[in-house]
Chains A and B, each alone.
Chain A
Amino acid sequence: DADVTQTPRNRITKTGKRIMLECSQTKGHDRMYWYRQDPGLGLRLIYYSFDVKDINKGEISDGYSVSRQAQAKFSLSLESAIPNQTALYFCATSDWARTTGELFFGEGSRLTVL
C-alpha cells in the first residue's frame, strides 16, 4: 500500500459543484501539503499544515479550503468548482519533527471541471 494515498484518483464534475479531495498518510509525518500542477507551470502550493492545529495558505489558496482532521489526514475542498480549477492535484508529507523535511508525494488526483 502507498504511504501517501489520495482519493479520488480521477474526478469529473460540473461548474458550481462542491468537491473534496482526500489525503491520508501512514508515514507518521507531521507536515502535509496540497499542490496543484498545471501544464508548463510546475507545482504550486495551495495550503500546508505543520500539525493538526496549524493551517497556512500557500501561493494559490483562493477558491480552496482545507481541513486537517488528524495527523494522518488532510483534505482539500473546492466549495464551488470552476473550469480553471481543472488540474492535477498532489498531496505531500514531510517529517520536520525528526528529520529535515524531505517531501513524499501521493499519486495525484486528476480533477476536470466542465
Chain B
Amino acid sequence: GIQVEQSPPDLILQEGANSTLRCNFSDSVNNLQWFHQNPWGQLINLFYIPSGTKQNGRLSATTVATERYSLLYISSSQTTDSGVYFCAVEDMRFGAGTRLTVKP
C-alpha cells in the first residue's frame, strides 16, 4: 500500500513565527487531505488538495502530485495552532503526524 511520511515529527515555535510541514507519499494519489487534531482530540479538515495550491487565512497548502509531496504552510503562528497535523491519502492512509507547539 501507499506509504505516507510526515516531517518534522515535532516542531516548537514562538508565536508569530512561520512554519512548513511536509507530507511525502510513495505513489500517485487522487485524494489528499490535511487535518488538524486539536488538544481535545477533534480532527478538523484543513484542506482537500490532491494537486495545486489553496489558501485559507494564515494557512495554505500546495501539493505537487508529480513529485509526490504536499506542503502545509502556517504563517504568523498562534497558540491556538498547537496540536497535531496529519496528511491523509485516498481516505485510507494517514501519516504519523507533525506535533506543533506554539509558545506565547
Q: Which residues of A contact B (CB under 8 A)?
A: 31, 33, 35, 40-45, 48, 58-59, 88, 90, 92, 94, 100-105, 107-108
Total residues of chain B contacting the partner, CB 8 A: 19
- Given contacts A45-B92, A48-B92, whether A103 and B97 have CB atoms under 8 Å apart is no
Structural contact, B96 and A100, CB atoms closer than 8 A = no
- Given contacts A42-B86, A100-B48, whether A90 and B91 have CB atoms under 8 Å apart is no
Q: Which residues of B contact A (CB under 8 A)?
A: 1, 31, 33, 35, 41-43, 45, 48, 50, 86, 88, 91-97
Identify the 7 closest CB pairs spanning chains A and B, nearest first. A105-B43, A42-B94, A43-B94, A102-B48, A42-B96, A42-B97, A108-B41
Residue of B nearest to A107 (CB): B42
